Amino acid sequence: MNLPQRFPHSGLPSSVTVYEVGARDGLQNEKTTVPTEVKAEFIERLADAGATRIEATSFVHPKWVPQLADAEVLYRLLEARPGVHYPVLVPNPRGLDRALACGVREIAVFASATETFAQRNLNTTVAGALADIAAVVRAAVEQGLWVRGYVSMCFGDPWEGPVAPDAVADVVQQLAAFGCDQISLGDTIGTGTPGHVRTLLDVLAARGIGPERLAVHFHDTYGQALANIHACLEMGVAVVDSSTSGLGGCPYAKGATGNVATEDVLFMLTGMGIATGVDMDKLLAAGSFISGVLNRRPESKLGRIPEGSRRAP
């Protein structure tokens, strides 16, 4: 076994949903395209490990993200399992139509907290992006879909520098008003720290957006991801985005390295007695599988420990 000793802490959630983003946010950043069947097997391995929300793909135009051009084919390969959800990212009404045609019931939309990133990534302004999102969310809600909203650059922007918590809260508040069921706060370049995280959550709470509506999405560029997640747990957040084997980054933000690794998040949560329903050994195997396909070593700390050295404490 390779699990830590468990020492539960009071004041933390008893369980956490690990929202797995490796299959979409991770693989979209690869220089080469992973075969559809391999993506499907990776997702199935994650489901076998106990992941219950696995973001499968994005219905974006293939011109912009050719690595995900197989969205329709991939989604139809996925095995329906009780309690397992396969949300997809949709960038616009056309993407929503494509997703609905495949039977998708959960979607995610994407906004920016800063003008420069909105222009570089979405080719519009913050207000323009929100207007487009409003139309997508409205149509999705009318179809009875569950909707997540992503907000990028919540803790810093590589071009604009510091990002004011109130600017982030303005965007989050609008996504909530549109009807998003859940809103994920993204530390796109990994510059957030626990004090910054707490401040933003306090600002959101003052605007009536509590932790039950939120998820967090940290990149580990500066080694702060686990500390930031712990701070969020203390504030009541119980949904954590992560990527098996630390896959991913952001192709539109200079200096943005990988997402925090699911294996490392799981190790911390397990040690604090927080239930996730995810099996560590199967998760490590899934990470080893996809890393082997990509011809690289796993990016998670746990994945780099030689298998024979993993011992119970």
- Given a contact cutoff of 8 angstroms between Cβ atoms, the answer to whether 250 and 29 are in contact is yes
- Which residue, among 251, 263, 279, 231, has the nearest Cα to 60 in the 3D structure? 251
Query: Is-catalytic flag, 250?
Result: yes
How far out from the chain centre does Cα 235 lie? 19
Vertex 281 angle, CA 8 and 41, to 5°: 130
- Which residue, among 38, 1, 76, 20, has the nearest Cα to 313 in the 3D structure? 1
Separation between Cα atoms, residue 78 and residue 135, nearest integer Å: 28
- Mapped onto helix, strand or coil, the DSSP state of residue 30 is coil
Separation between Cα atoms, residue 105 and residue 86, nearest integer Å: 8
Name the packing angle between helices 165-178 and 126-142 (round to 10°). 30
- Which residue, among 255, 184, 231, 233, has the nearest Cα to 24 in the 3D structure? 184
What are the distances in angstroms from CA 177 to CA 130, 170, 174, 289? 11, 11, 5, 41
Q: Of the residues 154, 180, 232, 250, which is catalytic? A: 250
Task: List the catalytic residues.
Answer: 250
